[in-house]
Structure formats: C-alpha cells, structure tokens
Structure 1
Amino acid sequence: MYLSRAFAVVFVVDSADHGRLPLAKRHLHQLIQQDSVVPLLVLANKQDLQNAHHIPEIHDALALSEICENRKLFLIGTYVTKDGSEISSGIQDTKEFLAQLLLEHSAEMK
C-alpha cells in the first residue's frame, strides 16, 4: 500500500543474528515483490561484532541477486557503539545515498 509512494526502501538486518536472517529474507522478498523498481538500501547492522556475517554473506543470505534485476541496490555495513562515540562510515554513506535519492525523486515529480 505504501510502497507505491516510496522513493526507496531501507531494510535493516542484524548481521550477528544468524538465526533470523531467513526470516528477514522472507519479509524482504514479500515486501519487494510489490514494486520491481523502487531502490533498495539494506543496512547490515552490528558489523563491529566478532560473529557478524560479512557483507557478501549477508548478500547471499538475503538472496539479493534474486530481487535486484531492475532496481538500484545498495548493501552497506553499519555499526554504532553503545555510547555513540563511534559511528561507522556506512551511516554517512547512507545519509548521502538517501539525500541523492530524494533529490532524484523530487526532480522526477516536477
């Protein structure tokens, strides 16, 4: 219902929660099947943890190659320390990506 008005989908997964990745995959695929072109930004959170899946493993676990044929796809590793003293460069990349998509979307609406 809401996807038709979205300029992007941001999907966050816990990179260290190996058991819930299949559930995350199922939900993501159900969501994305409703719109074949909306850009997708997947944030692989908790990349600072020792047991976190690496980005290629997240890509495979979520079967992103199956849903990114006609859409922009970005998979970014992120983390934030508990006290907020350190923020990954992925957070800055995410802000820039969303700002760019919003500009593109605004230009298309004119």
Structure 2
Amino acid sequence: MAPRPLGPLVLALGGATAVLGSVLFILWKVYFGRDREQRWDGSEAWWGADPVHLPEWDPEDEEEEDPALEEMEQREVLVLGLDGSGKTTFLRVLAGKPPLDDHIPTWGFNSVRLPTRNFEVDLLEIGGSQNLRFYWKEFVNEVDVLVFVVDSADRQRLQWAQQELHKLLDKDPDLPVVVVANKQDLSEAMNVVELQQELALHALNSQREVFLLAASIAPSGPGFNQPGTVHIWKLLLELLS
C-alpha cells in the first residue's frame, strides 16, 4: 500500500522543525568546530554480528582519569534510519536512560553526548519520517561516522531503507558506515546475510568501510546488556579513535 500524502500543515511543521534542527546543528558545529580527518585504516569490511574482533566492554575503562571537559576533542556520529527502526531507543540506551515504553516518532532531532577517556562523542539523531528524510543529506558531510538503523522485521519497507541509505552513501564516499540490523529478537526478522542482500551492501565500493551488526535494542531491558549494544559502541570507539 502506498503511503498517504502528508497534509500541507504536517509538511510545513515537519519542514520548520527540520530547519530549526539544521540551524541548531550548525551552531553546534561552530561551537565544537574542528577539521575532519580520516581516522580508520580498515582495509576490510566486517559483516555479521560475530564479536570476536571487539573487546568486552568494561564501564571502568571509561572512568579512568578523563581529561578536563574543555580539553577534550569532539567526535560526531549521525544516527539515521526510517521511523520506527529504533534510533531514539538506541540513543537512550547508550546514554543510560530507560527506553520509552511507547514509540514516539522523532519530529526533529535528538542528541546525546557521551564522554570517553580521550574524547567526547556527540550522537545526533534526525527523525526518519518521510518529510524529514529530505534533510538527511545535508548532514552526512559534517560527521565522522554514520550509523544507519534498520528494522530487520519491517520487510515491506526494506526497499525504502535501501534507497535512503544509498542516497546518503553517494553524498560522501569516505564516510564510515555502521548498519545496525535492529529487532533481531522478533521472529520475522531477517538475519544479517539476508539484510546484506536486501540492502545491496555487496554493491558498494570495496574501499568503503561498511559494517553490518545484528542487535536487539528493545524498548525495555538492561541497557548496555542488550544484545548488540556493547559491540556497536565498541566499534564506534574504534572508528572514532
């Protein structure tokens, strides 16, 4: 079934929200401005959810002698995906906040700042509704890593997710991409091998750094102990270091 056309008022509100988000993002970039540089020397992509390449996460590792706040460098991560894929829940889990019981679509953007030992990570999520996706491409050249969250059980919209992802990748051929195959706990979820095909990841430039990780970032649960969350965070730290 084709999506219903959005009413003029809804489009206007969505556009205004996205413009406001753009302005705030620009101010955020000016305040924390720095030159972007390539930080990952990965010569091979890592497909699947096998965590053997990633060390175990230990909270104490992030608490040892952090530099003073004003001296810490910034890293920016853009978190995108269709509405309902789990982007907001992902940010809340990383921030140590309880996930929301009910799904509330993001009409603008959400942001989270996470300190690590050597730098701070700013994660920016932009809403995934149809009228906000137009603005995604304006941000991909301003960040260090793209996280693209996919609802593994939403088979009807996987083609849309593929199209939106490839549009973003066309905008920046050097941007590392972490594709999160979310909702793997659902019985109808596609596995990572199927998603690699459905998202046409095999067709990407072999020089691009693309990672596909399975996850189950549920709207309830023990935060960082949820399957996949630790591995995603550790991979992000590797890419940003």
**Normalised-by-shorter TM-score class:** 0.7 to 0.9
| 1:2 lines up with 2:125 in the alignment | no
What is the one-letter code of the residue matched to 2:240? L
Alignment partner of 2:172: what SS? Answer: coil
| 1:91 lines up with 2:229 in the alignment | yes
What is the one-letter code of the residue matched to 1:97? L
1:1-110 matches, cutoff 5 A = 1-85=138-222, 87-88=226-227, 90-103=228-241
Q: Could you tell me how far apart the structure 2 residues matched to 1:74 and 1:57 are?
A: 14
**Structure 2 unaligned spans of 5+:** 1-137
Structure 1 segments of 4+ aligned residues over 6 angstroms from their partners: none
TM-score, scaled to structure 2: 0.40
Q: Could you tell me how far apart the structure 1 residues matched to 2:202 and 2:163 are?
A: 14
TM-score, scaled to structure 1: 0.85
How far does residue 7 in structure 1 lie from its aligned partner after superposition? 1.1
How far does residue 76 in structure 1 lie from its aligned partner after superposition? 0.4
Q: Could you tell me how far apart the structure 1 residues matched to 2:219 and 2:240 are?
A: 30
CA displacement, residues 48-94 of structure 1 (integer Å, 9 cap, x when unaligned): 11110010000000000112422111100100344314610x21111
Aligned length: 102
Q: 1:50 to 1:70 in 2, by over 3 A?
A: same
CA displacement, residues 10-46 of structure 1 (integer Å, 9 cap, x when unaligned): 0000000100000000000111101112111000000
Q: CA RMSD in A?
A: 1.4
How far does residue 97 in structure 1 lie from its aligned partner after superposition? 0.9
Greater fraction helix: 1
Q: Could you tell me how far apart the structure 1 residues matched to 2:218 and 2:142 are?
A: 33
What is the one-letter code of the residue matched to 1:60? Q
* Partners of 2:183 and 2:218 within 8 A in 1: no
Q: 1:8 to 1:68 in 2, by over 3 A?
A: farther
Structure label with greater radius of gyration: 2
Could you tell me the percent identity over the aligned residues?
Answer: 35
